[in-house]
Structure 1
Amino acid sequence: MEVYFSGTIERIIFENPSNFYRILLLDIEDTDAEDFDDFEIIVTGTMADVIEGEDYTFWGQIIQHSKYGEQLQISRYERAKPTKNGLVKYFSSSHFKGIGLKTAQKIVDSYGENTIDEILEHPEKLESIAGLSAKNREAFVSTLRLNYGTEMVLAKLANYGIPNKLAFQIQNFYKEETLDIVENYPYQLVEDIKGLGFTIADQLAAELGIESQAPERFRAGLVHSLFQGCMDTGNTYMEARDLLEQTLTLLESSRPVELDPSQVAQELSHLIEEDKVQQIDTKIFDNSLFFAEEGIRSHLVRILEKGKQKSHDLETIQKHIASVEKELGIQYDSIQKQAICDAIQNKVFILTGGPGTGKTTVINGIIA
């Protein structure tokens, strides 16, 4: 069950700038979590820059850490309007090089209310701040724009029901185009963002007023159904008929509306024409899987056609196997011996088998 905690960030315990993962200690002012009577809680998750001493509200799930006890694993968060003291502390932190407490105080005093918004709108005013070099000034504005922009995007995506972790993936992929893509081409997310399923994109599209009969909706459903179908079966393709049936089921279950199968089939034809998917006879291939398989095939052909296979006498191989058995203190069965012989006598050999069937033991015999 999702709960919220509002309060002041007492301390940033850990932060990873590469993926925005942070661990915070929150001094609790308010919460709707029942039976939680502590005055502070550890907050974990992906989030943009946060400021110690400032007020935030975090939403998420309470989890039980084996070592550190109850923690809030967040799905989204919201920052209250930062105070002047909080901004001074933030600007003089390690996030901004070359800015000490005095310079940070000058910046806040110079811009007054809505400091961050004013800085981003009128960065030229920083030129009047004594002690702030042109290089540090440029880096300061750039970092502030990145962090603040990221936070604004995350807040917007949270309003659409997209959790922070997924929101960061979207932000990292589209950069400054994030909101434009999300709000105008939500189904593009299905093709570009791994882990973002059709349902999330479809819910977002519905909120934005995109009709259930929209061609882009059909295309996204086809792309998602194709990839998911391949993952479920272990194949690199689906039969066109099966793909259309599964896509119709997906589309009609996501939104309660009856669709014309011919319209979905038409969009499949468009995807094929645009090389978004590949077709061989009645089989439809996911692009990533098709080209991966084609790459493997071409490499195998290259290996098979390159030079002649060195001849190995079967009797010599069997003597070698007996020597390996003695050295390793093992006894190969007939199938394992045949596998070793086949591997040595052929340019390409594929060894398969479930856990505990002796694949490693066979490989040891091949390379010994």
Structure 2
Amino acid sequence: MEQQSFLAENSGKNSTKGEAQLEGVVEQIIFHNEANAFTIIELLSDQDEIIVTGKMPPLNVGETLQVKGEWTDHPKYGLQFAASSVIKQAPRTEAAIFAFLSSGAIKGIGEKTAEKLIKAFGQETLEVMREKPDRVSRLSGIGRKRAKSFQEALQKERSYQELSLLLLPYGIGPARIRTIYKELGDSAEAVIRQNPYYLAQRVRGIGFETAERLAEAFGMTGDHPVRLRGALLYTLQQSLFQDGHSFVENKQLLQNLTKRLQVEEVKLGQALDKLVEEELVLRFDPADSEILRQQKESNSNMDVNANPEKAVVAMRSVFMLEQDLAKTVRFLSDRPEAKCEIDPRYGDTLYC
């Protein structure tokens, strides 16, 4: 279903009793705050022009909305409709489709092109543009390249809407949803459904608890492999960025997470073994210089059977970065001492 729901805070001072519902077409966007999504629009509903306020997704003139909320009497601006939820719907009539396409919502489509498309495909215009661009390309003056760009623009809009519908109920606001969409692109919803913990690893401000709520909704509870894997990687990442530790003791990692996740330690250990086998993480004895030398020279994984009492665990990418940094420092320390002098014309600037 092609729709997008946004929760909104009432902005009126005095409200009438009971929730009401409106449906109409966006006539004008008076104000939109990208930071918190607060928006003021003029909605044409049953031939009446109504001012609607509240949190809304990015809108275009001509889009069809279903709005729930309450009528309010603002002391300065008069009668308004304070939205508690806003649902974007696909335009259903030819007039609504024309208003949407001719508004500039889709780059490269103006009034003439919108008329041409609607004349050819009627109420199925948007569906044909999204699913059958080859039919659109046969129209005079459009061609394959423009038809493809129309398709991509509509698919992008749908992807953003589906992502919003997925995340809004979990307290993830519009601004953060835009950040997630920029980070993960059109496949964001599919990526999150497959592994919600990836959000916590990739997007700043999304914590483990949010990922847990999403995972529970997707049936990834208890000792589900995706949950155990995500928890391990997230913990290693947080240990690095919050505490500055590039590795964690194997035993401590398993004990702490077993308690936090309320799962069997053997299951968590098996998930960690899998990550080691896939070379996403490394497990080694930090006191064994020979193992470190072999890893650095062969660029291969370390012994999966390292003594769990002495072993530590690190993200492979971080370990390799540390090794490269150490190599660079050693290289620089072996170079002859540079002879540098201060140029008096430029203060403390050194020339070597």
Whether TM exceeds 0.5 here: the answer is yes
Report if aligned partners of 2:280, 2:316 keep a CA contact under 8 Å in 1: yes
The whole-number CA distance in structure 2 between the counterparts of 1:43 and 1:286 is 40
Superposed displacement of residue 311, structure 1: 9.2
Structure 2 residue matching 1:25: 3-state secondary structure: strand
Structure 2 residue matching 1:271: 3-state secondary structure: helix
Which of 209, 217, 229 is equivalent to 1:199?
A: 209
Match of 2:272 in 1: 268
- C-alpha change, 1:125 and 1:304, in structure 2 (3 Å) is same
Instruction: List runs of 5+ in structure 1 lacking aligned partners.
Output: 31-37, 60-73, 253-258, 324-363
Higher relative contact order (CA 8 A, sep 6+): 2
Structure 2 residue matching 1:278: 3-state secondary structure: strand
- C-alpha change, 1:39 and 1:275, in structure 2 (3 Å) is same
Report if aligned partners of 2:54, 2:84 keep a CA contact under 8 Å in 1: no
Q: How does 1:38-117 map to 2 (within 5 A)?
A: 39=51, 41=53, 47=57, 50-56=59-65, 78-82=87-91, 84-117=94-127
Match of 1:231 in 2: 241
Report if aligned partners of 1:98, 1:132 keep a CA contact under 8 Å in 2: no
The one-letter amino acid of 2:224's match is A
Residue 29 of structure 2 corresponds to residue 11 of structure 1: yes
Superposed displacement of residue 212, structure 1: 0.7
Deviations 1:78-102 (A, max 9, x none): 3034254443233234454543312
- C-alpha change, 1:220 and 1:200, in structure 2 (3 Å) is same
The whole-number CA distance in structure 2 between the counterparts of 1:130 and 1:210 is 51
User: How many percent of aligned residue pairs carry the same amino acid?
Assistant: 22
- C-alpha change, 1:112 and 1:235, in structure 2 (3 Å) is same
Residue 223 of structure 2 corresponds to residue 208 of structure 1: no
The one-letter amino acid of 1:3's match is A
Superposed displacement of residue 227, structure 1: 1.8
TM-score (norm 2): 0.64
Which of 17, 40, 55 is equivalent to 1:25?
A: 40
Residue 259 of structure 2 corresponds to residue 244 of structure 1: no
The one-letter amino acid of 2:275's match is L
Report if aligned partners of 1:26, 1:43 keep a CA contact under 8 Å in 2: no
Match of 1:305 in 2: 334
Deviations 1:247-296 (A, max 9, x none): 224313xxxxxx21222123223323322223342332234543443332
Report if aligned partners of 2:102, 2:111 keep a CA contact under 8 Å in 1: yes
Match of 2:18 in 1: none
Superposed displacement of residue 241, structure 1: 2.8
TM-score (norm 1): 0.61
Report if aligned partners of 1:103, 1:129 keep a CA contact under 8 Å in 2: no
- C-alpha change, 1:144 and 1:164, in structure 2 (3 Å) is same
Residue 312 of structure 2 corresponds to residue 283 of structure 1: yes
Instruction: Indicate the larger mover: 286-295 or 234-243.
Output: 286-295
Instruction: List runs of 5+ in structure 2 lacking aligned partners.
Output: 1-6, 11-20, 69-82, 286-310
Supply the RMSD in Å over aligned alpha carbons: 4.3
